[in-house]
Structure 1
């Protein structure tokens, strides 16, 4: 079995030695669950990220998705979150063995991504429908508690200590992100279960069920944060990226009845974190950081913005 080199590199960068050991065992684990669950392998999806995802069918020819990842708390949390959604607004889970990093999901067909819709407005409208469909309260907390988005932001301190010079996110912007995190927390109307990564590639079309989410991270936090991945996604190649981003902010604020200024502050905070993570993973981070700068510009329109 040929595992793409780009996928191997990403897993090694993110998970280190543990990821390399997992890659060594991956072909055997795939074969084990293909046999155990009586599945036929039709090859990996084209947009592999941090999990190895296969198109499979059962003995009756019914299509499914076999998802295999590094078995850790994040994977177990994703399984738990998909179970909470229970097929409503999100692809349904069939079965899972989280301790081995394996889950079987319904396959959404034809599975077109949200950005295949022709216009920004069409994409925004369907995004809003999915966003609303997966709103859930904080789930009961057991042995494996759902992580808090406020814990994610602790990575800003780690970034500051690691990247002390050279090409990096400025100290001013790190301080501004931390200031806005505090403001969003202070003004929240209450936390909820968030998807945590709701963007164009994680919303697919099913001819039977319409547009549905996939691949939730599952995190507890303010619902404003669950819009940011969409705002900054799929801007590459657009001639008017800044205008598109401004339009998305405006329309989401209107359709979801979000306070625009507060949304922009949440966007500065979370996009700064995303840029930090991307740089730490040796991935492309400048585009995300540019979005952070644009969010700050939008906030400054008609206002004087200072870091406290």
Structure 2
């Protein structure tokens, strides 16, 4: 029987209410059932992210792995589909899956992430190369990002009308234009969907492997936008944020073999959308990030 980390349990209940409390109460039994099914034994301290736990295990057949169990949510449903499509190419291997429990048995990698690489260009270049390796034809059944374009446009326009914000009309209109011009015409390419440096971990089988994908079908440049917005706190130390943003865009685009202009437009969209989301839903701790998102939205227009 595992011990569910207290911080994770508390955060899940605060976010999900009664369903979260019920899920947490049953989580040790769920993990026990999966360990027995897949003939594994716990092999280290239970770790966690925002929506799931990761249990280091040893497989009876030999070798280290991790058991990941996530809170049941549509946003977590296609993670194993993405891993299955990649087959270990640029991402951790999927050994087993139990979709009824939102659970997977995955290849174990190290705790070190790409965010710890001090050389900025090398970190961005590595992320770009990973993104390119993950760009394979999307399997049927994955959510198509083009199908979200209408909702994105409505969301942006509603937030601009309802919320007090410091972004210019020009910045908001640029994000809406990206949705209209790029969002509705996207290829059926598998993209990670949440590609940032903390989701790329150092490994033995390959130098770096991706984890925690959303599993979307869409524009590869979408991931470039996600990565860029996540890099802004690091880029602030450059002394010239605009210049650092442009360099990051070019380095990522070259490594990922994408159009840097598309990556810039998606990044600007992500910045505007994130700024509105934080104003509406963000915690006290994360709302301090809003002025930086506003600046990013303006610089990328």
The CA distance in 1 between the partners of 2:289 and 2:190, in whole Å, is 28
Q: Which moved more, 1:36-45 or 1:130-139?
A: 36-45
The CA distance in 1 between the partners of 2:260 and 2:129, in whole Å, is 19
Q: Does the CA-based 8 Å contact 2:195-2:227 persist in structure 1?
A: yes
The CA distance in 2 between the partners of 1:162 and 1:269, in whole Å, is 13
Q: How is 1:54-203 mapped onto 2 (pairs within 5 angstroms)?
A: 54-59=55-60, 62-108=63-109, 110-139=110-139, 141=140, 145-152=141-148, 154=151, 157=154, 172=169, 173-185=171-183, 188=185, 190-203=187-200
Secondary structure at the aligned position of 2:237 is classed as coil
Secondary structure at the aligned position of 1:217 is classed as coil
Partner of 1:305: none
Partner of 1:51: 52
Partner of 1:290: 292
Partner of 1:302: none
The CA distance in 2 between the partners of 1:162 and 1:30, in whole Å, is 40
Q: Does the CA-based 8 Å contact 1:51-1:67 persist in structure 2?
A: yes
How many residues align? The count is: 292
Secondary structure at the aligned position of 1:239 is classed as helix
Per the TM alignment, residue 2 of structure 1 is displaced from its structure 2 partner at its CA by 4.5
Q: Does the CA-based 8 Å contact 1:271-1:289 persist in structure 2?
A: no
Q: Deviations over 1:156-209 (max 9, x none)?
A: 6457658976665758354432222112236x5734111101111111121232
Per the TM alignment, residue 103 of structure 1 is displaced from its structure 2 partner at its CA by 0.8
Partner of 1:273: 273
The CA distance in 2 between the partners of 1:203 and 1:181, in whole Å, is 27
The CA distance in 2 between the partners of 1:223 and 1:130, in whole Å, is 11
Q: Deviations over 1:251-298 (max 9, x none)?
A: 223444443333222111123333444552537255366245324324
Query: Is the alpha carbon distance of 1:59 and 1:13 closer, same or farther for their aligned partners in structure 2, counting shifts above 3 Å?
Result: same
Query: Is the alpha carbon distance of 1:62 and 1:276 closer, same or farther for their aligned partners in structure 2, counting shifts above 3 Å?
Result: farther
The CA distance in 1 between the partners of 2:290 and 2:129, in whole Å, is 25
Query: Is the alpha carbon distance of 1:39 and 1:276 closer, same or farther for their aligned partners in structure 2, counting shifts above 3 Å?
Result: farther
Partner of 2:237: 239
Partner of 1:33: 34
Query: Is the alpha carbon distance of 1:60 and 1:256 closer, same or farther for their aligned partners in structure 2, counting shifts above 3 Å?
Result: closer
> 5+ unaligned residues in a row in structure 2: which ranges?
none
Query: Is the alpha carbon distance of 1:14 and 1:7 closer, same or farther for their aligned partners in structure 2, counting shifts above 3 Å?
Result: same
Partner of 2:24: 23
Q: Does the CA-based 8 Å contact 2:268-2:300 persist in structure 1?
A: no
Q: Does the CA-based 8 Å contact 1:271-1:291 persist in structure 2?
A: yes
Q: Does the CA-based 8 Å contact 1:156-1:174 persist in structure 2?
A: no
Q: Does the CA-based 8 Å contact 1:232-1:245 persist in structure 2?
A: no
Q: Deviations over 1:215-255 (max 9, x none)?
A: 11011211110112221225436523725433211322344
Per the TM alignment, residue 77 of structure 1 is displaced from its structure 2 partner at its CA by 1.0
Partner of 2:202: 205
